[in-house]
Amino acid sequence: MIPLFIFMAIIAIRMVFINISATNESLLVKEFAKDAGISEAYLRAEIEPILHPKKTKEQKETDKMIREIKRKVYEMNKRDALEDENLE
């Protein structure tokens, strides 16, 4: 019963932290928008590309190459592990 209580307490603490973070972010946006003399929506639209940049075609190709290399390394390690098991 105690582990369930601890688990629920951790979830409650995380929820409070998320709510505080969201409220803090919202208040900061309001304050900066007011200081700059622009609307909150405009400020959020300006911030969004900075926080979540879109990947270029080059970055996507690089990510694809990295995934392919990781997949090949994983397959090689898996094959080596099977060979080691067969030797034993």
Output the tens digit of pLDDT for each of the chain's 88 residues: 668 888 888 889 998 888 887 787 888 888 888 898 999 889 888 888 888 788 888 889 999 999 999 999 999 999 998 888 877 6
Look at residue 69 in the predicted model and tell me its pLDDT.
Answer: 96
Q: Which helix (H) or strand (E) holds 9?
A: helix 2-36
Three-state DSSP class for residue 54: coil
Handedness of CA 71, 74, 80, 83 (dihedral sign): negative
Spatial contact of 33 and 43, defined as CB atoms under 8 Å apart = yes
Percent composition of the chain: helix, strand, coil (DSSP 3-state, to 5)? 90, 0, 10
pLDDT tens column, 52-67: 788 888 889 999 999 9
The domain locations on the chain are 1-53, 55-88
